[in-house]
Chain A
Amino acid sequence: MIAVWDQLPQAVANGLLLAALYAIVALGLTLIFGVLDVVNFGHGQLVTLGAYLVYALVSGSFSFWIAVPVVMVALGLGGLLMERFTFRPVRSIPINGLLVSIGWIAIIGNVISAVWGPDQYNMTRVLPGSLSFAGLSLSRSQLLVLGVSIVVMVVLSLVLRFTSGGKALRATAQNREAAALVGIRTRRLDAIAFGVGAALAALAGGLVANLFPLDPSVGDSYMVYAFVALIVGGAGSAAGAVVGSIIVGLAVSLAQTFGSTGVASVAPFVVLIIVLFFRPAGLFRTDHEATL
């Protein structure tokens, strides 16, 4: 019993650090889902691609701090193009957006395998080592993730709340037709939302590369857990995505500490199943009106 209490603070800390990474991915997914109604299953592949590209640049003796923004811009532009040429034509039927994203899984995933093969790669880490604080051991690269994640959340919420473009984005997510009628260029916002979502995936990828060895499926679990977080929180709500990420992060970490890796891999889904069973629209989604 005492051992449990001893382990708890560390488990919670680890959970929050995991949540920070999930949140970056989940916020990108939320932007894309909120504005475009697309469930982008290809997001995990974007995370993986981001990780490999950052790795490639860093091995090519670029600084990590330069490589990450460069890859974010590159994947952001790629996201704009993906939206323009593959998602926009199928907009009218949401399930088709899901199919297109599955097509992208096959394309991006196999580009990665073709270029880098199945081997594992280790990037030279920035910020190695760890800090001890109040009996907790926190790796510095994970603290970087936490810091970046908080910056992303703050910047994103400031942009959405206070800039004209951010408000226009929210307006479009809430009522696309009315948004067009007041002169908001909704198609441009679609592309931008997808681009920003892809850039956030790239950012998450860069951070992953600085934490773990890379293999072609490294991003998959982040996509899956981010989806769980997104839906637990209530799809389309940025605050929901963050809260959902924290719940999932804690679930994984507590299950790892007090259960086993097997339990940990099941825990987020159990959470999701329980939440969706009682609240089919997720925890934070309330402004959904039934129409007949």
Chain B
Amino acid sequence: MTELTLEGVRVRRGGATVLHDVSLSVTGAEVVALLGTNGAGKSTTLRTISGLHRPYAGEIRLNGKVVNGTRPENVVRRGIAHVPEGRQVFVGLTVRENLEMGARIRGRLTSADLDRVLGLFPALGSMLGKRAGVLSGGQQQMLAIARGLLARPELLLLDEPSLGLAPKVVDQIGAAIGQLPALGMGVLLVEQNATLALDVASRGYLMTGGRTITEGTAGELGRSEAVRAAYFGGGPA
């Protein structure tokens, strides 16, 4: 089973250290939530795993092998797909072409691939020939996740999939994420929406100020004073 481990990872951006000490692990078929407020370093952690940033200290290990500094196009070939924040679909390509790009590292987009993806996101079915730029925010998010899944990764990095979406769409996406471990895929989920994240995750980490400070099961984190403090400042609620 795939295992991704970060140990003491530090990242500098524009002269300032933005990740001070990130340690976490995700194994095989589980959803792991990465919680924290804006600026805590969650997205940077995902971007570092997928090779968009390079750590200056610490280790990223995939199945025991150090993979620091691997370029993003090769990280995905090693089985880690990243669905970035803000959807980032190819707006000028059709929905089908976007999906083809997702499957590209394995070859062509087969009809079996397409069936599987449309099973998770039936809403995309009628959109295949449309330019991705004309889709709604929720549809773009589904497309972005579907594109990531088509790489058939062993691990999916999901950054804020609920961002700016209507509650109904959030529920749909949450349900889809919940199905992934059964398909043999681990998920590292970054989410502002703590309830959603802890709902679908089995474990999680809390980040503040570029550090992973707490670790626990979803239940533990849901009751944790630290999580409450990070989101609501420990004030009256």
Name A residues whose Cβ lies closer than 8 Å to a Cβ of B.
164, 167-168, 170-171, 174-175, 177-186, 287
Contact = CB atoms under 8 A, between A and B. Distances in A.
A171 to B, nearest CB: 5
Interface string B50-87: 11100000000000000000011110110001101000
Contacts of B133: 287
Contacts of A180: 51-52, 71-73
Interface in B88-126: 88-93, 97, 100-102, 104-105, 108
Contacts of B84: 177-178, 181
B92 A181 contact: no
A160 to B, nearest CB: 11
Given A170-B93, A182-B151, 9 more contacts: A164-B100, A164-B108, A174-B92, A175-B90, A175-B91, A178-B90, A181-B72, A182-B81, A183-B76
A285 to B, nearest CB: 11
Lowest 6 CB-CB distances: which A-B pairs, in order? A183-B105, A180-B72, A178-B88, A183-B76, A171-B90, A174-B90
A175 B83 CA distance: 13
A182 B104 CA distance: 8
A90 B105 CA distance: 29
Given A168-B104, A182-B102, A183-B73, A177 B89 contact: no
A186 B73 CA distance: 8
Given A177-B52, A181-B84, A171 B91 contact: no
30 contacts: A164-B100, A164-B108, A167-B97, A167-B101, A171-B97, A171-B101, A174-B92, A175-B88, A175-B89, A177-B52, A177-B72, A177-B84, A177-B88, A178-B84, A180-B51, A180-B72, A181-B76, A182-B76, A182-B104, A182-B105, A182-B147, A182-B148, A182-B151, A183-B77, A183-B105, A183-B151, A185-B73, A287-B91, A287-B92, A287-B133
Contacts of A168: 101, 104
A180 B88 CA distance: 12
Nearest to B131: A287
A171 B93 contact: yes
Contacts of B72: 177, 180-181
A175 B132 CA distance: 13
Contacts of A184: 73, 101, 104
B122 to A, nearest CB: 22
A180 B82 CA distance: 10
Nearest to B92: A174
Interface residues of B, number: 29
A98 to B, nearest CB: 24
Given A168-B104, A183-B105, A183-B151, A174 B91 contact: yes
Contacts of B148: 182
Contacts of B82: 181
B132 to A, nearest CB: 9
Nearest to A182: B101
Contacts of A167: 93, 97, 100-101
Contacts of B74: 183
Nearest to B80: A181
B198 to A, nearest CB: 26
Residue from B73, B93, B100 with most neighbouring chain A CB atoms (10 Å): B73
Contacts of A179: 90, 101
A50 to B, nearest CB: 30
A164 B104 contact: yes
Contacts of B97: 167, 171
Contact of A183 (B88, B93, B104): B104
Nearest to A289: B91
A177 B87 CA distance: 12
A182 B89 CA distance: 11
A179 B102 CA distance: 9
